[in-house]
Amino acid sequence: MTRILPGVIAMAAIVVASNILVQFLILDGLLTWGAFTYPLAFLVTDVMNRVYGTQAARKVVFAGLIVGIVCSLVGTQIMLQGDGYTYPAVALRIAIASATAFGVAQLLDIAIFDRLRDGSWWKAPLTSTIVGSTVDTVIFFTIAFAALFNGLSATAAEEVTWAQDAAPFLSAGPLVPLWVSLAVADWGVKLTIALLALVPFRLIVGRLQQAKI
């Protein structure tokens, strides 16, 4: 456990930071600052997988999942007021979406990375992160905002029907449900960070593997 403790701490820090930063909107609400920290979870998972193997990576992911669930539970207890309603800062459907997307996407990332680990050094982290990020985006935004899952929230005040209102795609294209634009913008950030993260991945893995010798 001691050897993966830095990974557990890093994953927990990323999850907590993302849960806080998701409250701060940018680009007219298309993105949040949390969109830039959350994808780093894949970097942590891939580093752990490369250096210590799939079992260690799964333990780090499990730790991150527990921290995420705790953050969501805390959010459901923080009550806000608006439009004559009192509602929790984190709706139940968003908490379910977050935990489901994180767990499925991270475990998929681990499985794909393991399949490709003997190839070129960049292939496993890049491919696993792109696929994992795509699945994460689809699961989270569909469960959290799509009309298909209306009714998951405990009360009408918690429903996020505002995300189903028609709006120009990425603020400039044809009318689509707002959540579709939010998902595509978030996905674009994830893909960009997947490419940029190859540099720290290479450096961190090199350092850790040297330390093991």
Domain residue extents for the chain? 2-212
Which own/partner contact pairs does 56-61 have at CB distance under 8 Å and 24+ positions apart? Answer: 56/3, 56/4, 56/7, 57/110, 57/113, 58/107, 58/110, 59/1, 59/4, 59/8, 60/4, 60/7, 60/8, 60/11, 61/11, 61/102, 61/103, 61/106, 61/107, 61/110
Mutual angle of helices 5-21 and 40-52, in 10-degree steps? 170
Residue that has been written with the tokens 């669930």 in this structure:
69
Q: What is residue 213's predicted lDDT score, i.e. its pLDDT?
A: 60
- CA-closest candidate to residue 44, choices 62, 59, 60, 21: 60
Residue that has been written with the tokens 């999942």 in this structure:
65
| Tens-level pLDDT at each residue, the chain (213 residues) | 688 999 999 999 999 999 999 989 999 999 999 999 999 999 999 999 999 999 999 999 999 999 999 998 887 777 676 555 666 677 888 999 999 999 999 999 999 999 999 999 999 999 999 999 999 999 999 999 998 888 776 665 566 888 999 999 999 999 999 999 999 999 999 999 999 999 999 999 999 988 876
Distance CA 181, CA 56 (A): 35
Tell me the three-class secondary structure of the chain, residue by residue.
CHHHHHHHHHHHHHHHHHHHHCCCEEHHHCEECHHHHCCHHHHHHHHHHHHHCHHHHHHHHHHHHHHHHHHHHHHHHCEEEECCEEEECCCHHHHHHHHHHHHHHHHHHHHHHHHHCCCCCCHHHHHHHHHHHHHHHHHHHHHHHCHHHCCCCCCHHHCCHHHHCEEEHHHCCCEEEHHHHHHHHHHHHHHHHHHHCHHHHHHHHHHHHHHHC
Q: What is residue 137's predicted lDDT score, i.e. its pLDDT?
A: 98
For the entire predicted model, the pTM comes to 0.93
Topology, domain 2-212: Arp2/3 complex 21 kDa subunit ARPC3 (1.10.1760)
